[in-house]
Amino acid sequence: MCDVKKCQICGRRATMFLTQIVNGQATDLVLCENCAKEKGLFDPQTLTFAEKFFPEEFKARVDKIVRELSEKKEEESSTLSPQSADCDLLTQCPVCHFTLDQHRATGHMGCPACYDVFARELNPDSMENSENSPAEGHTASPSLLQLKKQLQYAVEQEDYEEAAKLRDLINSLSGKQG
């Protein structure tokens, strides 16, 4: 019931999970059904049991996808991550050897210690203004729960436009966009 993970390709809810050994390292492959189909991995049942019942061709196919995905991530992180260049952040967890790139690619952590190692990734603002300074001139923004209740009401009223706005707001507040 690990249903809440996001597809590594499109960010939608993932339904297929696979841990593959690539170049001696375990790599997670997390895909939604559409992307999996697009990549030629159609049968979710097969994928679920893939670790045990893998025909060689299928394995090769998955290796290729994992490679493509990690290349894409590398490209992305080299072009749009100013953070990694200018600071002395660790890019690998000393306890479990999980890397920053792996964290970015999968959204996972390797072990509990990774939370400290990748703290800045989790909460980019925490270093700059860590004191919880009260916002000036603003009333407190609605809590996530209040927003969810408003969302529930909007859906009950079948006001999907309002619901979509609220959903986006909730997603951005809960930091779930990729």
Partner 1 sequence: MTTTSTATAHIPEWLFHQPGDDGIVLGTLGRLVRNLPNHPFPGWSTAESRKAVAEQLLPGLREIRGFKTAQAIEISALDYTQRCHLLCCKQLTPCMAARQEGCHVLLPAKKDTYFMVNEEEHLVAHIGRHGFAVKKVIQDMENIAEKLAEKWNFAYDSRYGYLTSIPTEAGDGMQLYCILHLPALSITGMMGQICKAMEKLHLTFTPYYSDGQDDTGHKYILCSIPGPEDSIWEIAEHFSGVANHLIRREKQVRIRLLQSPGELLRDNIGRAYGMLRHARRLSIQEMRNAFSLIQMATHTGHLEWQDGSDAMLLRISKTELEQALQAGANAEADDAGMRQLAIRRASQIRQFFHQHPHRLFPEDN
7 binds, among Zn ion, partner 1, none (CB under 5 to 8 A by kind): Zn ion
Segment lying near Zn ion (by CB under 5 A), choices 3-11, 16-24, 138-146, 170-178: 3-11
Check: CB of residue 27 under 8 Å from CB of residue 69. Answer: no
Using the minimum distance from each CB to partner 1, give the nearer residue, 78 or 112: 112
Among 16, 30, 66, 98, binds Zn ion (CB under 5 A): 98
Task: Tell which positions 18-37 bind Zn ion, by CB under 5 A.
Answer: 32, 35
138 binds, among partner 1, Zn ion, none (CB under 5 to 8 A by kind): none
111 makes contact with Zn ion (CB under 5 A): yes
* Residue 42: HSE in the Cβ half-sphere, 13 Å Cα cutoff: 1
65 makes contact with Zn ion (CB under 5 A): no
Residue 56 CA, chain-centre distance (Å), reads 28
Please state the φ and ψ torsions of residue 175, each to the nearest 5 degrees: 60, 35
176 binds, among partner 1, Zn ion, none (CB under 5 to 8 A by kind): partner 1
69 makes contact with Zn ion (CB under 5 A): no
Contacting positions for Zn ion (CB under 5 A): 7, 9-10, 32, 35, 93, 95-96, 98, 110-111, 113-114
